[in-house]
Amino acid sequence: MKKVENVKFSKVDNAEQGSVALFQIIKEELEKDRLHSIGLATGNTMIPVYEKWVNSDLDFSNVTTFNLDEYVGISADSPNSYAYFMHEHLFDKKQFKETFLLNGLAKDLEEECRRYEDLLEEHGLDLQLLGVGENGHIAFNEPGTSFDSVTHVAKLTDSTLSVNSQLFANDEKIPDTALSLGIGSILRAKKIVLLAFGERKRAALEKLLEGHVTAEWPITKLLHHDDVTIITDLEL
């Protein structure tokens, strides 16, 4: 495996082993009393992680969570919302101190983003979990997003719409707009762990391994953070 400065790679055999490895990090941070707030991601990649989490008997009732993103115009009751995903996979089964989510139905979206960013600043993030899009997006920071961005209203690219619409249920139309933590907000987390499994994620990891930070591949900004671990099953 190639190497880049700052970023640690953890090679696993498959997604199952990768989710065990990530949960081990979460457990260690909790046991060392270094986990008071955690940033959470959605997507298929995260489902086995949340399974481990739910099945553990660890106590997270002093931990505050922040989700990365949410679709605009989708109600929290819809199975297509990230709020619903989080309740189904984690929040309804495990107790936390507080669980913050972006409200994609807010009347004033800019105001909603400011509210969320203020909360983030107040709490800080001890650990941020990330997946990655096929085009290298993190949260909903699509190619071209400013590296200084904070929580904002994000336009989704055709590539993301085509990938993510496959997960949309009940004939609901996928919105082309979302609310998302910015790249700047994510980079403020003390520690970042990104999971990437399967060939569809290879291009994004290879870009990162080239070692150049470019806005065309938002994932590459992680090269400027000093505590990033990438857990992957890909031979790179």
173-188 as b/e, with b when 16 or more CB fall inside 10 Å?
A: ebbeebbbbbbbbbbb
Q: How far out from the chain centre does Cα 41 lie?
A: 3
- Smallest gap, in angstroms, from Cβ of residue 224 to ligand GLP? 19
Which of 104, 133, 184, 218 touches ligand GLP (CB under 6 A)?
A: 133
Task: Name the residue among 217, 201, 212 with its Cα closest to residue 142.
Answer: 217
- Of the pair 96, 168, the CB lying nearest ligand GLP is at 168
Which of 39, 48, 104, 131 touches ligand GLP (CB under 6 A)?
A: 131
Q: Does the active-site annotation cover 137? A: yes
Residues 151-210 contacting ligand GLP, CB under 6 A: 160, 164
Binding map of ligand GLP across residues 29-68, x = CB under 6 A, - = no contact: ------------xxxxx----------------------x
Alpha-carbon distance 232 to 138, whole Å?
16
- Smallest gap, in angstroms, from Cβ of residue 66 to ligand GLP? 13
- Of the pair 32, 105, the CB lying nearest ligand GLP is at 105
Q: Does the active-site annotation cover 142? A: yes
Distances (CA, A) of 50 to 91, 106, 200: 10, 27, 22
Stretch that binds ligand GLP, among 57-65, 128-136, 142-150, 184-192 (CB under 6 A): 128-136
Residue 140 near ligand GLP by CB under 6 A: yes
Alpha-carbon distance 45 to 203, whole Å?
17
77, 163 in Cβ contact below 8 A? no
From the candidates 70, 112, 126, 142, which is the catalytic residue? Answer: 142
Alpha-carbon distance 82 to 69, whole Å?
7
- Of the pair 68, 127, the CB lying nearest ligand GLP is at 68
Residues 62-121 contacting ligand GLP, CB under 6 A: 68-69
- Of the pair 33, 44, the CB lying nearest ligand GLP is at 44
The residues that are catalytic are 69, 135, 137, 142
What does the binding site for ligand GLP look like in residue numbers (CB under 6 A)?
41-45, 68-69, 131-133, 139-140, 160, 164
